[in-house]
Amino acid sequence: MDIQEILSRCDHTLLRPDATSGEIMELCDQGIKYKVASVCIPPCHVAGAKNYAGGSLRICTVIGFPNGYSTARIKAMETVDAIKNGADEIDMVINLAMVKDGCFSDILDEIKSVRSCCKGHILKVIIETCLLTQEEKQILCEIVSNSGADYIKTSTGFSAGGATREDIVLMRRFCSPQVKIKAAGGISTLEDAREFIELGADRLGTSRIVKLVMEEGY
Residue 93's identity, in one-letter code, is: V
Give yes or no: 91 in active site: yes
Predicted pLDDT of residue 66: 98
Considering the candidates 91, 150, 167, 192, report the single residue annotated as catalytic: 91
Cα angle value 180/186/192 (rounded, 5°): 70
pTM: 0.97
Domain count, the chain: 1
Predicted pLDDT of residue 62: 98
Considering the candidates 150, 167, 182, 192, report the single residue annotated as catalytic: 182
Q: What CATH number has the domain bearing residue 123?
A: 3.20.20.70
Average pLDDT score over residue span 22-44: 98
| Residues β-bridged to residue 141 | none
Predicted pLDDT of residue 1: 86
Pairing status of strand 59-63 against strand 38-41: parallel
Reply yes or no on whether the pLDDT at 217 is more than 80: no
Portion of the chain with pLDDT greater than 70, in percent: 100
pLDDT digits (tens, 9 = 90+) for 76-124: 999 999 999 999 999 999 999 999 999 999 999 999 999 999 989 999 9
Domain that holds residue 64: 3-215
Distance CA 118, CA 110 (A): 13
Predicted pLDDT of residue 218: 73
DSSP-based three-state secondary structure for 126: strand
Distance CA 53, CA 129 (A): 32
Predicted pLDDT of residue 216: 83
Considering the candidates 153, 167, 180, 192, report the single residue annotated as catalytic: 153
pLDDT digits (tens, 9 = 90+) for 146-193: 999 999 999 999 999 999 999 999 999 999 999 999 999 999 999 999
